[in-house]
Structure 1
Amino acid sequence: MQPAPAMVETTARSRAAQTAAVLSLAAGIFILITIEELPIGVLTVMSADLGVSPGVAGLAVTLPGLLAAVVAVLAPVAIGRLDRRLSLVIGLASVVLSCLLSVFAPTFGWLLAARVLTGVAIGMYWSVLPVVAMRQVAPEHRTRALTLAMSGTGAALVLGVPLTSWLGNTFGWRDSFAVVGVLAALVMAALLVLVRPVRSDEAISLSAMAGALRHRGVRYAAAMTGIIVTGQFITYSYVSPLLQGRAGVPATGVGAMLLVFGIAGLVGNFAVAPLLRRHPVHAVLTVALGIAGSLGVLWAAVHGPLAAALVMPLWGLFAGAASVSIQSFVSRAASEVEEPGTAINSAMFNIAIATGAAIGGQILDGLGLGAVVATTVGLALVGALISLRYLLRHVPR
């Protein structure tokens, strides 16, 4: 029996070429996570400059997340059998334009209009990234390729968000958007050169998306993503006021705290690999419990910058493993509907980010920082119960 053409092409490429392709995809998600979360690191200075409260400024995170959720579901349907790289390129081009408009935004309303393009970018890129990454390598290396591609998320927390936070608080928040726009253009060019074309064997319809929702693995993944990620971003979206108000960290020191958080997140992205090989639900359970525990310690025991510097990496370690854990769960528990399942999980991920930022803003303005952290802890524990339920009922012992 002759191997499929796609397999011949994959195995014929050198290991270096395959790695370079996956790394370019990781660089793209680095850009997407950085631009999505950029307002978090400059929330204080941006809201002051545009004349809105920090809670209102959080809409700059909420709006793109909601739009990304819609785009993530529609993108695979719209692309049909075309090269999935088209979705990636459109995503990065949208980042470039969004950043350009943000740099010259005279009002908060103008900034929100620019963030519409950010939502398009996130949805277009996230919806196909896992599938494209895994198709760059032979089947036996696909888990490794997914982990490496998803490391762009941790790298964004290590370098992207802290760097843009430092730029924004030192030189002005608009400079942060300018830097990300230039990097997005460079990564888009690299992706076109390095990434092998990926086409679906058959077009994905809206009915196929609806059918995927009936799959047990997709439903569990959507529930875990919705609960855990919403909880995470209720607090993380307002980490600047949390660190400044609770731990006494100066505005210029927030970037350093996010750097510590991000380094730990990158470590967590790779450290979770043994649990992923056993079954991803073990990783999801660990992540949920870790987020709840670390944030509980952050609120109960942190009363100064030094203590915050010790607890932030603990939180980052677990948060950094969240995206790769849940996506690996989709690939393992819903392999029959992997591509539509991935798109649905991506949509839920972005809904969760948007919902978390919106809920967090309302709680922050109405009840204060303590209620923000308590809500995150509670939701993380609920997510842990959902993953434990799946583990006990559906994972063979």
Structure 2
Amino acid sequence: MTPSLPSRPDTDEAPTTTPDGPDRPAKPFVPLGPVRSWLAVVAVGMGVFAFTTTEMVPIGLLPAMSRDLGVSEGSVGLSVTLYGAIAGLFAPVLTVATRRLDRRVLLLLVLGIFIAGNAFTALSSSYTVLMVSRLLTGFAHGVMWSIAASIAIRLVPKGQAVRATAVVFSGISIASVVGVPFGTFIGQSDWRTAFWVISGIGILILTASVLLVPRLEPRTVVRLAELPRLLRDANLRIATLVTVAMVIGHFAAYTYVAPFLEQDAGIPAHWVSALLLLYGVAGVVGNFGGGAAAARALRTTTLTCILLLAAAVVLLVVNGEWHPGTVVLLLVWGIAYTALPVCLQTLVFASAPQAPEAATSLYICAFNISIALGALIGGWFVDTSGPSAVMFIGAGFSVVAALLMTRYSVARSE
């Protein structure tokens, strides 16, 4: 059955298409004890943490990996770029392909692939083996991001859905603050150790998921040919376009924030890593603060965060070399940006409540492709006009995202 696109989110009694045949009442909330329920949400969030860590940790290990495998640092860098591209491009396809699987089974499956993929990376004897293992993990990454939030909101009562989403996406912020620096630190003597440790963390998360996450029957059956039809919904289309503009703008600027801080803001090189760590800490605050605010006023919170980000990156240029101002503005940037994934994911859920995983897969596809586009656009401007130019580019795309956000219909998402 081809799913319709209702203008209001489903309730506990809303019909949904299931793999077993005709419509029957959906069961969006699986009642568990309150402690087990939130522990299960945390386990899913730790899965997001682990996937984000393994995606980014090669950045800090490029020299060691290139020397060991006998290839250039740029070649090893492709293990990050292609990982993200695979995760984004194949998220919709793989989410649809696995649509009939119990979501608990699918979660355990992607965690198993994650464990195996990182073990193979640690065992890589050649560049070819490294890339195969990374691409394997990238496939699982796209599915994990597509199902993580939709699993979490089914583990808690409806009124706590945004909070559960914030917990899941806090895994991204925590990976930036703890996972990536820690992985880089333990991999300094032997880069393979980092991937063995990440694989071991995956085993712990898999064990926790086996014990805590209940059976979760798939809520809808969406076919690949129907994915474009989801975008006929105006709110989902706007949410996707806001994601594209916002992510391109952020990564155009943030990818080159280190040279900006050193060259244009006058920050000593040895202080840059500390400032980026503070940015990550601010991101954890923004993640949970944004989630709480979005639960009360979704469109207003999203729009506010976008405008704060635009203002912060412009004022960083205007601020010049006044270091206290640079620190404050960088913290505002961190808080504003890391609140946005929670807001944007919630916009997607509100826009397509009858097909949350399919809609999320489109969101993940847009998100990851926009990361690559942002870095590409930023790279061109930083080479031709310098680091300050990319800040204005980031602000420009953010303004476009803000204008698009004003078109989002609150009435249709309530």
Q: Report the TM-score range of the alignment, normalised by the length of the smaller protein.
A: 0.7 to 0.9
- Counterpart amino acid of 1:355? L
| Equivalent AA in structure 1 for residue 167 of structure 2 | L
- Between the aligned partners of 1:176 and 1:279, the Cα distance in structure 2 is 41
Which is richer in helix? 1
In the alignment, the residues of structure 2 paired with residue 113 and residue 181 of structure 1 have an alpha-carbon distance, to the nearest angstrom, of 16
Q: Does 1:345 align with 2:355?
A: no
What letter corresponds to residue 85 of structure 2 in structure 1? L
1:99 aligns with 2:118: yes
CA shift for structure 1 position 293: 1.7
Give yes or no for the alignment of 1:124 onto 2:143: yes
Alpha-carbon spacing, 1:332–1:174, altered in 2? closer, same or farther (3 Å) = same
Determine the C-alpha separation between the residues in 2 that align with 1:387 and 1:6: 30
- Corresponding residue to 1:331 among 349, 364, 385: 349
* 2:100 counterpart (43, 67, 81): 81
CA distance in 1, matches of 2:385, 2:328: 27
In 2 relative to 1, CA 203–357 (structure 1 residues): closer, same or farther, beyond 3 Å?
same
Displacement after TM superposition at 1:255 (Å): 4.2
Find the counterpart in structure 1 of residue 169 from structure 2.
Answer: 150
C-alpha spacing 1:156/1:274, structure 2 compared with 1 (3 Å): same
What SS class does the counterpart of residue 204 from structure 1 fall into? Answer: coil
- Which of these two proteins has the greater Rg computed from alpha carbons? 2
Matching residue's letter, 1:359: I
Structure 1 pair 177–241 and aligned structure 2 pair: CA distance change class (3 A):
farther
Aligned-partner Cα distance in 2 for 1:396–1:97: 40
Alpha carbons 1:81, 1:200 under 8 Å: kept: yes
Which residue identity does 1:286 align to in structure 2?
T
- The residue that corresponds to 2:53 in the other structure is 34
- Match of 2:407, SS state, is helix
Once the two structures are superposed, what CA deviation does each residue of 1:125-184 show, in whole Å capped at 9, x if it has no partner?
A: 01111111111122233222222222222222222233335556x556555444333322
Q: Quick one: percent identity of the two aligned structures?
A: 32
Letter paired with 2:344: I
* Contact 2:91–2:146 (Cα < 8 Å) also in 1: yes
1:10 is aligned with what amino acid? V
CA deviations on 1:15-51 (whole Å, 9 max, x unpaired) are: 0000100000110111122222334556688789877
Which of these residues, 208, 211, 227, is aligned with residue 193 of structure 1?
Answer: 211
Q: 2:236 aligns to what?
A: 218
Q: Distance in 1 between matches of 2:377 and 2:78?
A: 10
Question: Is 1:183 aligned to residue 201 of structure 2?
Answer: yes
Superposition pairs of residues 1-397 of structure 1, within 5 angstroms = 10-11=30-31, 13-40=32-59, 52=72, 59-103=78-122, 111-167=130-186, 171=189, 175-247=193-265, 253-301=271-319, 303=321, 308-390=326-408
Q: Gapped runs of 5+ residues in structure 1?
A: none
Q: C-alpha deviations, 1:192-228, integer Å up to 9, x for none?
A: 2211221214422113322212111211111011110
Do 1:85 and 1:197's aligned partners in 2 also have CA atoms closer than 8 Å?
yes
Mark the CA change 1:44 to 1:314 in structure 2 (over 3 Å): closer, same or farther: farther
Deviation of 1:100 after TM superposition, in Å, equals 3.8
Q: Which runs of 5+ in 2 are unaligned?
A: 1-11, 14-23
In structure 2, distance between residues paired with 1:59 and 1:100: 19
What RMSD over aligned residues (CA atoms) do the two structures have, in Å? 3.5
Separation in 2, partners of 1:252, 1:165:
17
Q: Could you tell me the TM-score, scaled by structure 2's length?
A: 0.81
Task: Choose 2-11 or 189-198, whichever is displaced more.
Answer: 2-11
Tell me the secondary structure at the aligned position of residue 182 of structure 1.
Answer: helix
Cα distance in 2, alignment partners of residues 253 and 386 from structure 1? 37
Deviation at 1:252, TM superposition (A): 5.9
| TM-score normalised over the length of structure 1 | 0.84
Q: Residues of 1 paired with 2:146 and 2:323: CA distance?
A: 38
Deviation of the 1:329 alpha carbon: 0.9
Q: State how far apart, in whole Å, the 1-side matches of 2:122 and 2:148 are.
A: 28
Cα pair 2:29 2:154 within 8 Å, conserved: no
Give the aligned length: 392
Query: Which amino acid in structure 1 is aligned with residue 289 of structure 2?
Result: A
In structure 2, relative to structure 1, the CA distance for the partners of 1:378 and 1:342 (3 Å cut) is same
String of CA shifts for 1:73-130, please: whole Å, max 9, x gaps.
0222111221123333343334334434544667777655443234213201011111
Per-residue deviation at 1:353?
2.0
